Amino acid sequence: MENKRPVWTSKYAFIVTAVGSAVGLGNIWRFPYVMGQNGGAIFLAVYILLISTICFIPLMNELYIGKLTKKECVGAYESINPKFKFLGILNPVTGILIAAFYFIVGGWIINYICKSFVNAQIVDYGEYFSSFIQLPFHPCVLTLVFLFICIFFAARGLKNGIEKANKFLMPLLAVILVFLVIVSLNLPNASAGLEYMFKPDFSKLNSHMVLAALGQAFFTLSIGMGALLTYGSYIEEDKNLTKSVYTIILSDTAFALLAGIMIFPAVFSFGLQPDSGAGLVFVTLPKIFSQIPCGNWVSFAFFVLLFSAAVTSGISVVEGPCATIIEQFKISRIKACTFLFILISVIAVPATLSFGLLSNIKIFDKSIFDFLDFLTSNIMLPMNALFLCLISGWYLKLKGKDIIKNKLFSVCFDVGLKYIVPFALICLMIAGLK
Q: Which residues contact ligand PHE by CB under 6 A?
A: 21-22, 24-27, 98, 219-220, 222, 225, 227, 313, 316-317
Amino acid symbol at 360:
N
Nearest distance from residue 431's CB to ligand PHE, in Å? 18
Q: How far apart are CA 84 and CA 428, in angstroms?
A: 23
Q: How far apart are CA 60 and CA 229, in angstroms?
A: 10
5: CB partners within 8 A, 6+ apart: 70, 233, 234, 327
Region for residue 271 given its phi and psi (left: phi exceeds 0; alpha: psi -120 to 50; beta: otherwise): left
Nearest distance from residue 58's CB to ligand PHE, in Å? 12
Task: Pick the closer one to ligand PHE by CB: 238 or 319.
Answer: 319
Nearest distance from residue 318's CB to ligand PHE, in Å? 10
Task: Pick the closer one to ligand PHE by CB: 151 or 183.
Answer: 151
Contact 369, 104 (CB under 8 A): yes
Q: How far apart are CA 338 and CA 325, in angstroms?
A: 11
Task: Pick the closer one to ligand PHE by CB: 228 or 285.
Answer: 228
Nearest distance from residue 257's CB to ligand PHE, in Å? 14
Instruction: Enter the DSSP assignment of 84.
Output: G
Task: Pick the closer one to ligand PHE by CB: 317 or 403.
Answer: 317
Q: At what angle do helices 41-52 and 207-220 cross, to 10 degrees?
A: 50
Task: Pick the closer one to ligand PHE by CB: 257 or 404.
Answer: 257
Nearest distance from residue 340's CB to ligand PHE, in Å? 15
Task: Pick the closer one to ligand PHE by CB: 39 or 320.
Answer: 320
Backbone angles phi, psi at 186, to 5 degrees: -90, 0
Task: Pick the closer one to ligand PHE by CB: 24 or 92.
Answer: 24
Q: How far apart are CA 132 and CA 231, in angstroms?
A: 36
Task: Pick the closer one to ligand PHE by CB: 31 or 64.
Answer: 31
Q: What's the CA angle centered on 280, arms 276 and 282, to 5 degrees?
A: 135
Q: How far apart are CA 269 and CA 182, in angstroms?
A: 14
The SS3 call for residue 199 is coil
Q: Taking the mean position of all CA atoms in its chain, how far away is CA 51?
A: 14
Task: Pick the closer one to ligand PHE by CB: 24 or 58.
Answer: 24
Nearest distance from residue 313's CB to ligand PHE, in Å? 4
The SS3 call for residue 363 is strand
Nearest distance from residue 195's CB to ligand PHE, in Å? 26
Nearest distance from residue 317's CB to ligand PHE, in Å? 5
Q: How far apart are CA 62 and CA 178, in angstroms?
A: 31
Nearest distance from residue 1's CB to ligand PHE, in Å? 29
Instruction: Enter the DSSP assignment of 340.
Output: H
